[in-house]
Each structure stands twice: as C-alpha cells, then as structure tokens.
Amino acid sequence: MEGIPVLSSEETKALDRRSEAAGVPGDVLMETAGRAVADAVRRRFSPRRVVLVAGKGGNGGDALVAARALHEAGIEVRAFSLYAKDDLAPLTRQQADALQRAAPDALQVLDDCAVLEGALGEADVAIDGLLGIGVDRPLRGRIAQVVELLNGSTARRVAVDLPSGLVADSGELPGEAVRADLTVCMAVYKPAHLFFPARGRCGEIEVAAVGYPEDALAQAQPLAWVAGPDLVKAMLPVRPPTGHKGTFGRVLVVAGSVGMSGAAILCAAGALRAGAGLVTVACPGPVAAAVASSLPEALTLPLPEREGRLTRRALSRLLPATERADVLAIGPGLSRAPAVGSLVLRLLRETPGPIVLDADALFALRGRLDRLVPLAGRAVLTPHPGEFSRLVDRPAGAIDTDRLEVAPAFARTHHVTVLLKGRPTAIGTPDGRVFLNPTGNAGLATGGSGDVLTGIIAGLLAGGASPEHAAVLGAYLHGAAADHLARHVSERSILPSDLLAALPRVLRQSEQER
C-alpha cells in the first residue's frame, strides 16, 4: 500500500486512456465522478438550491452528472453551460441530454451573466465545472467573468477535480481562480492540490474513488504519493493488549540547554503521546530539573554541563544510556557549540538503533555527511529548508522550490529517510520515493512545533514503525492535530503544547479510520 498517487496532467489523461482500454469507458468514469461530487455536496452542505456552471470538456460533463444526481435527490438545481450543445465534447453532450431528459428546465446556455449572478444570490452551493486540468495561462473573457461571479457569491463553492484557473502541474497561480470551499478531486492528486499558492484556492480536499481499474492505476508514474486515512491506519504500529512499557519501546531524548529547556520537554512529550513506553531525557543538569517539574511522566538523566550546554564529559553517561534505549531522538535545543557538535557525532557513531536527527544535530552534520554512512536504513532527518540548505550547500529558496526532487535524492544517496518540512512537507525514502503530507496549517509556524514532531516520530519508531512509516505518520498526525485545533480556535493561537493535547484525538480517529 503506497497511498494516493500524485499525477501530472499528462499522466492523468493517460490513466483515462488505459482505463478505457481496460473496459471502463469514459461515460462510466464520468457518471461515478459526478455522483461523487453530488454526494459530497449533499453530505457536507445539505443544500436546498444548487447552481452549477459547466464548461465543454470532461470537467463540465462531471458537473452535469452531479446536477442530475442532485435533482434526483430532490434538490433544486440550475445548471448553466457556457457553450451551446453542439460545441460540447461528445461525452459532455451526452450528459447535457441526460440532464434535460431528467429535468427539462434545469439546464440553460449562459447568454447573460446577470442571470447567473441572480441565481447565485439564491443558491446555497455553487459547483464549479468550468475547466479541468488543461489550464496553462490566465483566464480571460467570459470564463474570467464567471469565476469573478462565483468568488463574489455567498454560496459555498465546490470545485470539480480542480478549481478553475489553476495550473494542474504546479503550485503557481497565473491569474484569478475559483476560491473553493471544497474540492472533490478524482481518485488522484495533482500538484496544484498540494503546492501553494494554488493549494490555498482548493479549500478542503476530498478524494473520490471513481472506479479506475487497479491495473491502470498500477501503470501510472506518480510524481509522489500522499498518505490518506487508509494508509495511515495501516502504517500505525499494532499495540498488543498484553504489551507493557518495554513492548512499546524506550526513547532516549538528547536535547535542551539552559534557555532551551522547552525543546527537550516538548520532544519528550511528543514521544510519550505517540505511544513510547519509556522516555528518558538526557540533558544538562539545570534542564533536567525543568523537565522533571513539567513532565513527570519522563525520566531524566542529568549530565555534565558548562554554561548550560552539554560537554564531552557527558559521553561516559550517555553511551550506556544509548545501549539501553531502542530509539535516540537528538538535537532540539542542544546548541551549536563545537563541544556539543563533537558529542553529537560520537553518539551517531555509537548508537545501535533508530535515530531521529533534528535542529542542532543536523547542524553538527554540516560538511560531515560521511557520518551518515553507519546510519543507513535507520535514521530519520527532519530539516526545514534552511537546515537542509546547509547540509547540501544549496540556497534555501532552491530547496523549497525543488522539494519533490531534493528530498528523495538525498534519501536515496545516503540511505536515510528525510522529512523536509514545509508546505507541503516532503518525505524522501531510501528507495527514491517521495510522500507529500496533506495535513497541517500555519498554526504550526511556532517555535517548538518541530520539537513535538521529532518526539512523535521517535515514539512511533519505539512502537515498531519503520523509519519511513514513522516519518510519514509523524508528519500526518502532527499536521492533523493542527487541523483539528484550527476547526475550533484561530490558527494564530495554536501552541506546540496544544498539539500534544490534540494528538490523542487524532490518533484515535486514525486508528478507527477505514
């Protein structure tokens, strides 16, 4: 199980052709897609009146199917086609005929945008079926005018597959585009669903199963994969009912310095919330006192320090602790002092099990990527673009733009898992695949959020997840916790400790998801 594929527009068209060759004709896919849109509209908005705008291609055909399905459900529907019937693509023309047979007065050709504006003023939901995945330039003329009317209406806006005006293969926004409240994408993601600023026009995204044959999907060449609820549930480590704290793993967190005790606390709490059986925080003595008072569930290992930072003398106590631990999480709040960097590199060489490297541990690796060789197959690196740019000596802006390529390339070269933070977070795996995380929001843009993520990944590793699965799961659950909070409070008010409080609910939902 690999998740939901991210396909280019050309690969999506090829998927349609393979499906037809496999015996699933386009009209069947169109019927399934349109009914999926209608189902989403009814389930989410319970509308009384729906207005729909349809183009001449397959996107318009999907929308016309949705109009018919909504009419059959007793909902008042007004459908506007931007083109005369003779100008419609053959399958779309069939759907226009089917809608007219079912509801003779529901469909009209849009001759006067004032009529559409009036209809939108009375609608609960407006469905955008204007354009599909073929857009590559700014909208002009009547389509641009219709998009402006959609965006100015008070109706909830639902996009069929992709909001009209977006370029499917990138996150670019060439001009105006529909601002959807909900996008029902058809079986596969396109890059515009995931990359900003285009992602910001999609609203909430629902992936609809439209009946592509398994063989046709298997032949696709995805740009990336996206973890959906089914994959997340499958990846979660099993917790046997007879398990004990040893069963669920021992995490050693090496983190913190004076003034940065919160990083150690948040990381340790993340590991505990993710299910680790025992968590020990190894840190400078003064930090240990703060950990003990703030997080009584964690053990502490006070270590020698100088000016609030660990010294090389800490090794004599740390090395035996790494042998007892199942997982090492290292880096948050450690500081970039040379002595700390030397300590980090020694621990990387001596630690036998899985390792999560973040923050100052990543800084210690700058110019020393050969130190990753002994970690092959058991390390997860969690850099943001600035940290990654120092590792590979490339500008952070280039890292952010090329995350689909750089994350899996680094992971494949060094045989590690790389979680490159950002929107979207990209997880590169040693076999060269890349997963894009669909969850999260700007509420994560607060110091300490990354420390929680490091802890979550370590806790999942301790419970038995592979490095690749722990990284994909960690990113998903971390972002889902922020999304859960954003449904109830302002994103700007979310604190890292709030993520910890929300994580049990998010995990419970993922455990039950089907």
Q: Which two tokens stand for residue 284?
A: 């400078």
Task: Count CA atoms closer than 13 A to 231's CA, side-chain side.
Answer: 22
pLDDT band, very low/low/confident/very high, at 376 (cuts 50, 70, 90):
very high
pLDDT of amino acid 366: 93
Same domain, 259 and 371: yes
Same domain, 220 and 255: no
CATH assignment at residue 132: 3.40.50.10260
Same domain, 60 and 148: yes
By C-alpha distance, which of 204, 232, 208, 195 is closest to 2? Answer: 232
Residue 231 located in a structural domain:
no
Tell me the pLDDT tens digit for each residue of 236-270. Answer: 999 999 989 889 999 999 999 999 999 999 999 99
3-state secondary structure of 311: coil
Residue 236 located in a structural domain:
no
Question: Can you tell me the distance from the alpha carbon of 252 to that of 249, in angstroms, rounded to the nearest whole number?
Answer: 10
Burial group, residue 38, by CB count within 10 angstroms (0-12, 13-18, 19+): buried
Same domain, 336 and 204: no
Question: Can you tell me the distance from the alpha carbon of 113 to that of 118, in angstroms, rounded to the nearest whole number?
Answer: 9
Same domain, 314 and 407: yes
Same domain, 322 and 203: no
pLDDT of amino acid 514: 46
CATH assignment at residue 333: 3.40.1190.20
Same domain, 205 and 294: no
Tell me the pLDDT tens digit for each residue of 48-100. Answer: 999 999 999 999 999 999 999 999 999 999 999 999 999 999 999 999 999 99
Residue 148 located in a structural domain:
yes
- 190: containing domain: 4-226
Q: Which residues pair with 452 in a beta bridge?
A: none
Question: Can you tell me the distance from the alpha carbon of 174 to that of 169, in angstroms, rounded to the nearest whole number?
Answer: 12
Q: How far is CA 102 from the centre of its chain?
A: 40
What is the residue whose two structure tokens read 């740019």?
A: 389
Residue 12 located in a structural domain:
yes
Q: Which two tokens stand for residue 53?
A: 């705008």
pLDDT band, very low/low/confident/very high, at 1 (cuts 50, 70, 90):
low
Terminus-to-terminus CA distance in the chain, angstroms? 14
Same domain, 98 and 163: yes
Tell me, yes or no, if the pTM score tops 0.85: yes
Extended beta strands in 354-436, E state: 355-357, 379-381, 417-420, 426-428, 434-436
5: pLDDT strictly greater than 90: yes
Residue 435 located in a structural domain:
yes
User: Per-residue DSSP letters for 148-164?
Assistant: HHHHHSSSEEEEESS-T
pLDDT band, very low/low/confident/very high, at 438 (cuts 50, 70, 90):
very high
Residue 346 located in a structural domain:
yes
Q: What are phi and psi of 307, to 5 degrees?
A: 55, 35
**What integer best gives the mean pLDDT of the chain?**
95
pLDDT band, very low/low/confident/very high, at 136 (cuts 50, 70, 90):
confident
Residue 40 located in a structural domain:
yes
Please give the tally of structural domains in the chain. Answer: 2
Q: Are 51 and 78 in contact (CB under 8 A)?
A: yes
Among 176, 191, 226, identify where a domain stops.
Answer: 226
Same domain, 145 and 283: no
pLDDT of amino acid 135: 84
Residue 426: how many other CB atoms lie within 10 Å: 24
Q: Cβ neighbours of residue 316 under 8 Å, at least 6 residues apart?
A: none
Mean pLDDT of 307-316: 92
Among 160, 193, 226, identify where a domain stops.
Answer: 226
Residue 225: how many other CB atoms lie within 10 Å: 21
Residue 242 located in a structural domain:
no
Percent of the chain scored above 90 by pLDDT? 94
Among 177, 193, 226, identify where a domain stops.
Answer: 226
Same domain, 421 and 315: yes
H helices of 170-260, where? Answer: 214-218, 229-235
Same domain, 379 and 307: yes
Same domain, 164 and 39: yes
Tell me the pLDDT tens digit for each residue of 169-215. Answer: 999 899 999 999 999 999 999 999 999 999 999 999 999 999 999 99
